[in-house]
Structure formats: structure tokens, C-alpha cells
């Protein structure tokens, strides 16, 4: 995902659903841009702020509390935008994509990373077994009840999202939001999905 935006040499990047800032830090390290990280969770942002400061990257990063569905920025503010694991958590993915595109300058890249359900039957069955059985069990062993609950939530959450909003629907929603040259690349045997495109001039 990061590779999709760094080639354009953006000066100002918005990283939506940044969480504790893993992608934000990568963007700072691989570009000369200033990066704004936005997330709904204040505890996540505080964690990210501590890690970013300890890495000596604080001067080029601003962290903001906000929602991807209603961004607190003027139209065409950013040279590029990334978002990670966002669309499963919003009520209207199409409207959210339109809002994300709104704040990107014409010609600016937009890229996302999401979990996905593998297309091939064999990998899909293995993925189902991993997300429903292995992931919760390992989470419980390593992190206790809280991580058991996270593990049990993740697989059904991903499956439900793609039943409602399949990948072809999502790609059309990117186009409808005003993003052109949309490309999708499956990763991790189909369990990951990078989508990218360019904000249109219209």
C-alpha cells in the first residue's frame, strides 16, 4: 500500500484509521512528506504518539482524532491518502470512499489495505479454519480472554463484510467516488487486499 503512494513524492499525506501509527511511521520513513494520522480511538493515538516520538519522527507527524466518514479537512487538502482496515467498520462504505476522495487533490494517489477472503476454495477453507479456530486459540494462550474475543470476532467480521460488499462492488464504489485507474492486488494467499487508484480531475 505504501508503495502505491510514495512514487508520487507527496508533500502532505493523510493516513486514515492509523491506529498506533505503524503505516504512519512507514510513510514518514519512505517519503519526505508531512503525515497526518487520523483515528477514532484516542488510546490508539496516544500509543502511536509515544512510539513516533521515541523514533524521533514527531516533527513531521500530526495525530488527529476523527472519523473517516466525516473528515475535518477542507476539500483537496492532501497530496495522497492511505487507509487501513477501515471499510468493515463503517455503515456506508461507498459514502466513506467519497469522503476520503474529497480531501485528496486531483491526481493524488489513494491506497488501502484490508483483510480479504481467499478466492481459491482450498485457501478459503484453510483461512476459515485459521480464523475460526487457530487464531482465537493462539490469542487466548498468548493474551488471555481479551485476545480470545478479538480472534473470535475477526473472521466472521471479514466474511460478513464481503458478503455485503464483495470486491467487485468495492471496486465500483472506488470509481463512483471519483477515483480512477483503480487496481486491486491480492496478497497473503488471498487473505489480504491492496486497492489503489488516482483521484480524478473531475
Tell me if 113 sits within 8 A of 105, measured CB to CB: no
Contacts of residue 108, Cβ cutoff 8 Å, sequence gap at least 6: 8, 10, 78, 79, 80, 81, 198, 199
Rounded to an integer, what distance in angstroms lies between the CA atom of residue 1 and that of residue 155?
22
Rounded to an integer, what distance in angstroms lies between the CA atom of residue 136 and that of residue 151?
4
Given a cut of 80, whether residue 170 has pLDDT beyond it is yes
CA-nearest of 161, 186, 197 to 83 is: 197
Q: Locate 95 and state its grid cell.
A: 459514502
Mean pLDDT, rounded, for 158-175: 96
Q: Could you read off the pLDDT of 32-47 as tens digits, one per residue? A: 999 999 999 999 999 9
Name residue 14's beta-bridge partners: 36, 81
Query: What pTM does this model have?
Result: 0.91
Sheet of strand 34-39, all strands in order from the earlier edge strand to the far edge = 61-65, 34-39, 12-16, 80-84, 109-115, 192-199, 179-187
Q: Locate 117 and state its grid cell.
A: 477472503
Contacts of residue 7, Cβ cutoff 8 Å, sequence gap at least 6: 109
Can you give the pLDDT at residue 110? 98
Rg (CA), the chain: 17
Q: Locate 3 and state its grid cell.
A: 508503495
> Where do the domains of the chain lie, and which CATH numbers do they carry?
2-117+165-199 (3.40.50.150), 121-157 (no CATH)
Rounded to an integer, what distance in angstroms lies between the CA atom of residue 195 and that of residue 182?
7
Rounded to an integer, what distance in angstroms lies between the CA atom of residue 125 and that of residue 66?
37
Q: Could you read off the pLDDT of 61-95 as tens digits, one per residue? A: 999 999 999 999 999 999 999 999 999 999 999 99
Amino acid at each position: 500500500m505504501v508503495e502505491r503512494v510514495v512514487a508520487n513524492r507527496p508533500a502532505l499525506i493523510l493516513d486514515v484509521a492509523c491506529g498506533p501509527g505503524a503505516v504512519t511511521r512507514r510513510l514518514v520513513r519512505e517519503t519526505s512528506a508531512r503525515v497526518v494520522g487520523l483515528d477514532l480511538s484516542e488510546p490508539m493515538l496516544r500509543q502511536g504518539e509515544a512510539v513516533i516520538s521515541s523514533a524521533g519522527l514527531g516533527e513531521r507527524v500530526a495525530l488527529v482524532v476523527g472519523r473517516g466518514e466525516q473528515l475535518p479537512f477542507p476539500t483537496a487538502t492532501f497530496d495522497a491518502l492511505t487507509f487501513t482496515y477501515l471499510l468493515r467498520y463503517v455503515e456506508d462504505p461507498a459514502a466513506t470512499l467519497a469522503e476520503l476522495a474529497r480531501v485528496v487533490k486531483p491526481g493524488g494517489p489513494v491506497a488501502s489495505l484490508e483483510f480479504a477472503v481467499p478466492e481459491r476454495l482450498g485457501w478459503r477453507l484453510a483461512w476459515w479454519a485459521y480464523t475460526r479456530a487457530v487464531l482465537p486459540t493462539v490469542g487466548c494462550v498468548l493474551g488471555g480472554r481479551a485476545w480470545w474475543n478479538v480472534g473470535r470476532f475477526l473472521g466472521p467480521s471479514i466474511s460478513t463484510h464481503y458478503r455485503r460488499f464483495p470486491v467487485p462492488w468495492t471496486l465500483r464504489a472506488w470509481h463512483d467516488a471519483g477515483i480512477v485507474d483503480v487496481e486491486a492486488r491480492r496478497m497473503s494467499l488471498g487473505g489480504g487486499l491492496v486497492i489503489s487508484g488516482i483521484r480524478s480531475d473531475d
